[in-house]
């Protein structure tokens, strides 16, 4: 087992650092990295995913590379253009919007800059992610303005927090709606599909309990799937890449090009984006060369794993 702790280049999802546990088993390495605000019940799925990756071979794959999008956090338009330029070959960019304290006009300026940079580089699509921050009327207005700024959005991800709100927004706009939190943080990950609240779903291996569990959700959903990461290290990204590689169809680039959000990685052979895609392969961390972590952080993770294990035992 190894613990990692890596700073983000820019604040993302309201965090400045990414930390997790890497475990090695007979099948290879797995990652367990639930965010710190997740309790034992939700973190248990992340534990199961890492354990599966370390102990069970991945299913046979249909492809050896997976197309990905670039991800633009909340930043000024010039920085957003720089991120697009740093990802040659990428034909989709996800832009984070609706952060607290950030005005819609700022989000629109960032989206417009990304769309212009993509057009100048040969074309591509823009998708936005609100992480459930909007109310229904606010979402409808924001989506229309962002759609105009982009010259047409590919889709908007998780505009509202609740499934019923998502359904109302979907009926009110002419932009496709993707469900993320309503899938990965739900007791029933397909309730959002049955409610007619989305056009596609975002699946993430760790939050759904492993490659096989996420694959089952994707197969049952009956709508297009975008495989994404939870800002993982390359070990976690390899888990997501294998899920994407198993799917028979990938109609949209995946959200697995997130390593560029981190200032480092756990491996000297990271899963970086090349020509708009990442490789499908196992990744082993160079534990001896990993960035040092404090004994306090290691102890914190050990206590957390104990809490998750205790919850799993009590839930049997």
**Separation of alpha carbons 131 and 105, rounded Å:** 18
Name the catalytic one among 45, 87, 94, 96.
96
Bridge pairing between strands 200-203 and 28-32: unpaired
Bridge pairing between strands 65-67 and 277-279: antiparallel
Q: Is 96 a catalytic residue?
A: yes
Q: Which residues are annotated as a binding site?
A: 129, 157, 180
Q: Which residues are annotated as a binding site for Mg(2+)?
A: 129, 157, 180
Name the catalytic one among 87, 127, 204, 252.
204
Q: Is 204 a catalytic residue?
A: yes
DSSP structural state of residue 37: T
Burial, 131: exposed, middle or buried (Cβ in 10 Å; 0-12, 13-18, 19+)?
middle
In degrees, rounded to 5, the angle at the alpha carbon of residue 112 between the alpha carbons of residues 107 and 118 is 130
Sheet holding 125-129, edge to edge: 70-72, 92-96, 125-129, 156-157, 177-179, 200-203, 225-227
| DSSP state letters, 90-129 | --EEEEE---TT--HHHHHHHHHHHHHHHHHTT--EEEEE
Catalytic residues: 96, 204
């Amino acid at each position: 087992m190894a613990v990692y702790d890596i700073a983000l280049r820019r604040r993302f999802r309201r965090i400045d650092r990414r930390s997790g546990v890497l475990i090695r088993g007979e099948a290879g390495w797995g990652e367990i990295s639930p965010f710190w605000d997740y309790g034992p019940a939700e973190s248990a799925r992340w534990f199961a995913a890492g354990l599966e990756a370390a102990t069970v071979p991945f299913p046979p794959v249909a492809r050896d590379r997976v197309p990905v999008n670039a991800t633009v956090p909340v930043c000024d338009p010039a920085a957003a253009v720089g991120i697009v330029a740093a990802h040659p070959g990428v034909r989709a960019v996800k832009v984070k919007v609706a952060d607290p304290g950030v005005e819609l006009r700022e989000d629109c300026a960032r989206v417009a800059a990304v769309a212009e940079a993509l057009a100048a580089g040969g074309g591509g699509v823009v998708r936005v992610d609100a992480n459930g921050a909007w109310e229904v009327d606010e979402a409808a207005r924001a989506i229309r303005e962002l759609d105009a700024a982009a010259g047409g959005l590919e889709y908007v991800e998780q505009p509202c927090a609740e499934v019923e709100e998502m359904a109302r927004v979907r009926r009110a706009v002419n932009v496709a709606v993707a469900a993320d939190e309503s899938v990965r943080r739900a007791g029933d990950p397909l309730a959002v599909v049955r409610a007619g609240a989305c056009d596609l779903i975002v699946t993430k291996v760790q939050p759904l309990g492993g490659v096989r569990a996420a694959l089952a959700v994707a197969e049952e959903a009956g709508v297009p799937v975008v495989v994404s990461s939870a800002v993982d290290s390359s070990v976690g990204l390899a888990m997501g890449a294998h899920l994407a590689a198993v799917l028979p169809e990938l109609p949209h680039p995946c959200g697995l090009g997130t390593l560029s959000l981190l200032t480092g990685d756990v491996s000297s052979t990271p899963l970086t984006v090349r020509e708009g895609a990442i490789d499908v392969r196992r990744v082993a961390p160079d534990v001896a060369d990993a960035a040092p972590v404090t004994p306090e952080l290691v102890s914190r993770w050990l206590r957390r794993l104990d809490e998750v294990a205790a919850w799993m035992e009590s839930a049997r």
